[in-house]
Amino acid sequence: MPLKPAQLASLLRSLSTLGTHVWITGGVAVDFLIGRWTRDHKDLDLIAFTTDRARLQAELATLDIRLDYDGGWNTHWNFETDGARHTGLEIVFLEPAEPKSGILVITADNPAGAPAGRYGLIPDALDPARVATLDGVAFRVCSAASEWWSRHSSATLIPGRTLEPKIAHDLALLETLVPKKLRTVLEQI
């Protein structure tokens, strides 16, 4: 069941109290970058650094956010909102990289079936000073260029993945924020 904007805002308001840096990514990031809710969301995707993993898990426990699934680099968490538990929080852990970026490390035994390897984000994807606001909630967000690039290139990362309507929707919105000249450069990465 999709999470309502009010539920996402409530969760993000709680998460904004964390001492650990985390960034919104995925569809909710697109909505924050655009400045309005544009579609339903089944989950909230975040990025954090592997070096902060233990600290983040302890902080999430204080918010009654519990780990459901640990796939190494990809984790799923449950949380309570509106008096019910939800399983719609996904946190991907990246190795920190410069400048203001990260590297996704996927091992050969990953349950998602993604090819093993090291996948770097584009530079400046994870600027800790980049904050967007929606429904009165200010939160760190990945760059629009990074969000566009990840959707554009994701079809090659997961075997058999196709351009879902929600991804096409996100790409169209992001293209209003990322100049064509930059998109052309990013397509070559």
Any domain includes 21: yes
Selection from 30, 50, 37 nearest residue 141 by Cα: 30
| pLDDT (mean) for 41-58 | 97
Name residues whose C-beta falls within 8 Å of residue 183's C-beta, 6 or more positions apart in sequence: 148, 152, 175
Kindly provide the residue ranges of all beta strands, DSSP E only, lying in the chain, ordered along the sequence: 23-25, 44-49, 66-70, 74-81, 84-97, 101-106, 117-120, 131-134, 137-140
Cis peptide bond upstream of 99, omega within 30: yes
| pTM greater than 0.75 (yes/no) | yes
What local confidence, expressed as pLDDT, does residue 114 receive?
76
Per-residue pLDDT band at 149 (split at 50, 70, 90):
very high
Any domain includes 174: no
What local confidence, expressed as pLDDT, does residue 110 receive?
81
How many C-beta neighbours within 10 Å does residue 51 have? 13
Q: Which residues pair with 93 in a beta bridge?
A: 48
Per-residue pLDDT band at 51 (split at 50, 70, 90):
very high
The domain total for the chain is 1
| pLDDT (mean) for 56-83 | 93
Any domain includes 57: yes
Any domain includes 164: no
Any domain includes 188: no
Mean residue pLDDT across the chain: 92
Any domain includes 114: yes
pLDDT at 155 over 80: no
Any domain includes 154: no
Any domain includes 61: yes
99: containing domain? 5-143
User: Domain holding 17: CATH number?
Assistant: 3.30.460.40
Query: What angle in degrees, to the nearest 10, is found between the helix axes of 165-174 and 26-34?
Result: 30
pLDDT at 162 over 80: no
| pLDDT (mean) for 116-141 | 96
